[in-house]
Structure 1
Amino acid sequence: MIRRDSKAVQALRLRPNTAQVRNAIAYRRSERGAEVANRPTWLLIYLTDNCNLRCQMCPHHTTLEVDGFKYLKIIENAMTLDVLEGALNRYPEVTHVSLTGVGEPLMHPQIMDVLAILNSRRVLFDVTSNGYLLSGEVAEALQRSQHLRELSVSLNGATPEEHYGVTGARGFNRVLENVRRITGSKRSHLRGPMRIAGSQVCTPDNVATWDTYVKLGADLKLDRLYLHNVIDMNIQGPGLTTLTDTPAVRDAIAQLPDRAGDTEIIKPRIIKKAKVGIGCQFFHRNIALDAKGAIGSCGRVMNPSPLYGNIKDEPDPWTNDYFTKTRATFVDGTMPSPCWTCVELQSEE
């Protein structure tokens, strides 16, 4: 049975053009090798690298030691609207856009214009935010957005004290108020309701509080709660250990419900066996873009870099040497080191 909120169903509501349909079919039929027949179906947009929090598990903004993380980046300038529209024009086959990256997207100085551009295109888009700026005209614009598929708020704790320990910020109650305001007045879109989600990072050190995360998600009336396994970013500090296959962790996951009230619970996954050849699909589906037009594909660890190419490159950077060679590593099992402990390449088989 096909879910009403699935990406495919939501995309069809946008009445995709011929190029989008053909590209989606080409992607589905792709054998996921080094060469691809499709163009990107998904754009990951790093609007800004600036952030108002200092989350300990984020190598770009943490106050902890991060010398072991080789993908560190901070670009002071925000993405211009010309760069954003240039990417959308270059890849008209794209059906999904994610406003994500290493910063807080709502800090972009022209966020209202960004939302207007995305709502004028035949694309669905997601926004990942820490919730601090989720109020006023920005919140209103998001609720009015006809093409917003998911708004996900990184809650980072179940109490003000826990939230402060993770983020270094003391605005947890403000975040909860902002989320409650939106879930309490959620409006139907022209082509379907947006999904309001929350996320929490799970580690072996906070197993005892997972139930409080679930209760908070239900209390906030979220549509979905993501319980994420922390990704190993080589950050030196307490509470940043990745979940591994231990009896205690497996038992804790088994005790999590599939739903809490109307909230769907997405449980953390633990690493047992990397899925070589059929795991991460980012390099066959996504193209990521930072404020300077540098590109990448990984949506987790390996950020866009000028070493990988630029959105303005000719010929099409989607088929350049970096993309082709990296795709091949997922076939022969020589993926970059971060991939082996990433949630995208985890299997419980």
Structure 2
Amino acid sequence: MTVRFAQIEPTTRCNFTCGFCAGRHMAQGDLAFETFAAFLSAHPALTHVELQGEGEPLLHPRIFDMIATCGERGIAVSMIVNGSLLSETRIARLVEGGVRTIHVSLETVDPARFAAIRGGLFDKVADGIQRLVDARNRLGAAYPAVGLAVTLLASTIADAPAIAQFYDDLGLDGGIVWQGLQAMPAYADHYDAGVAAEALTPALWQRHHGELVRTLGARGGRAPSFYHAMFAAGRPGGCAWLDGGAYLAIDGRVSGCCYMKAPADAFGRIGDDTVATIDAARDALAQALARGVVPPPCRGCAIAARAAASPSAAPPRPLPRSTSPGR
């Protein structure tokens, strides 16, 4: 498959302590800039990169070099940040770097509950978001579109209307993306009893679904987020990640998506394996789903389950291979 979309993990380090984050249980470190550059060179068809993984991207010492390198290659950049590091200097560089979308992650706009969940200060995050929007508008820049990324928890799902009001009050325009807790083993295996209890039951989903659509879902972005763009380009009934996406972890491992955390799930490593080898591993997973089989790295994934349940869907289209070094 030709990789057009890539989520690249700059770091697993974070200044927040969210209990549902897999990154708090992973080796702490930063992606080498040389590995980042080698990945881009190996995938010349890239159109959109998400600079975000299991840590706070703005902690990477060369994050603005990554943004600039993508810009030089005509690659759109999106990010999800925790909002605590949106200083005036960083904001200026984000705007000047042409970052397309920035989503700030949160679960609630109640300061006490925010601190209990994230270990940070809500007011600092809110101030940073407002500074980002104000700076962009003051500079007359088209981007970034600024939105929110919400993890829905059992204890905070009723906060959706307040989150939507917060979005409106700050004049945000990047849309709101939302999801429940991940059920895949790489995440769920680390949940303590308190976090596990935050998973939404089918009854909770059903009770709040209409309200979520009217509040969070009604705040559409004026520029598509990385995930919206990638899934819009994917095949109906298939997995957009395997159709044309990739995930690069801080140690150079390439996998099918951001949820494949185990080393055994990796397709290969930049610098050690050829792009052809990595592509062949990706194609094997895509073909398994087309046959109605959920392969082990995809266990627990709702997208894979749906794709495998419709094996009659058209198989992945053969796309022209790139002629990048290392083939």
| TM-score computed with the length of structure 1 as normaliser | 0.72
State the alpha-carbon separation in 2 of the partners of residues 183 and 315 from structure 1: 39
State the alpha-carbon separation in 2 of the partners of residues 160 and 286 from structure 1: 36
Please state whether the residue corresponding to 1:134 is helix, strand or coil: coil
CA change 1:317–1:244 in 2 (3 A) is farther
Please state whether the residue corresponding to 1:152 is helix, strand or coil: strand
Aligned to 1:106: 58
State the alpha-carbon separation in 2 of the partners of residues 190 and 221 from structure 1: 15
Aligned to 2:178: 227
Aligned to 1:166: 117
| Aligned partner letter, 2:193 | G
Aligned to 2:310: none
Q: Deviations over 1:281-301 (max 9, x none)?
A: 1022112112221111212x2
Is this contact kept in 2: 1:277–1:332, CA < 8 A?
no
State the alpha-carbon separation in 2 of the partners of residues 136 and 213 from structure 1: 24
State the alpha-carbon separation in 2 of the partners of residues 105 and 209 from structure 1: 26
Deviation (angstroms), 1:166? 1.3
- 1:197 matches 2:150: no
CA change 1:319–1:308 in 2 (3 A) is closer
| TM-score computed with the length of structure 2 as normaliser | 0.76
Please state whether the residue corresponding to 1:193 is helix, strand or coil: coil
State the alpha-carbon separation in 2 of the partners of residues 197 and 167 from structure 1: 18
Please state whether the residue corresponding to 1:205 is helix, strand or coil: coil
Mapping of 1:89-128 within 5 angstroms?
Answer: 89-128=41-80
Aligned to 1:214: 164
| Aligned partner letter, 1:215 | Q
- 1:81 matches 2:81: no
CA change 1:203–1:256 in 2 (3 A) is same
Deviation (angstroms), 1:338? 5.5
State the alpha-carbon separation in 2 of the partners of residues 51 and 257 from structure 1: 26
Match of 2:276 among 294, 316, 340: 316
Match of 2:240 among 281, 298, 301: 281
Q: Deviations over 1:257-291 (max 9, x none)?
A: 75469999x9xxxxxxxxx9824210221121122
| Aligned partner letter, 1:87 | F
State the alpha-carbon separation in 1 of the partners of residues 97 and 275 from structure 2: 34
- 1:136 matches 2:95: no
- 1:296 matches 2:255: yes
Which 5+ residue runs of structure 1 have no aligned equivalent? 1-35, 62-71, 267-275
Please state whether the residue corresponding to 1:128 is helix, strand or coil: strand
Please state whether the residue corresponding to 1:78 is helix, strand or coil: coil
Aligned to 2:131: 181
Q: Deviations over 1:74-119 (max 9, x none)?
A: 2x33122211111111111111111011111110012232222222
| Aligned partner letter, 1:160 | P
Which 5+ residue runs of structure 2 have no aligned equivalent? 226-234, 308-327
State the alpha-carbon separation in 1 of the partners of residues 72 and 64 from structure 2: 13
Q: Deviations over 1:106-151 (max 9, x none)?
A: 10012232222222221101111101111132211111123x2111
Match of 1:249 among 208, 219, 232: 208
State the alpha-carbon separation in 2 of the partners of residues 310 and 201 from structure 1: 30
State the alpha-carbon separation in 1 of the partners of residues 114 and 306 from structure 2: 27
Q: Deviations over 1:137-176 (max 9, x none)?
A: 2211111123x2111110232121111121122x211110
Looking at secondary structure, tell me which structure has more helix per residue.
Answer: 2
Please state whether the residue corresponding to 2:193 is helix, strand or coil: coil
Is this contact kept in 1: 2:147–2:221, CA < 8 A?
no
Q: Deviations over 1:36-68 (max 9, x none)?
A: 4xx10012111111111111221232xxxxxxx
Aligned to 2:192: 236
Please state whether the residue corresponding to 1:125 is helix, strand or coil: strand
Is this contact kept in 2: 1:144–1:189, CA < 8 A?
no
Aligned to 1:155: 106
Of all paired residues, the percent bearing the same amino acid is 19
**CA-atom RMSD in angstroms:** 3.2
Please state whether the residue corresponding to 2:101 is helix, strand or coil: strand
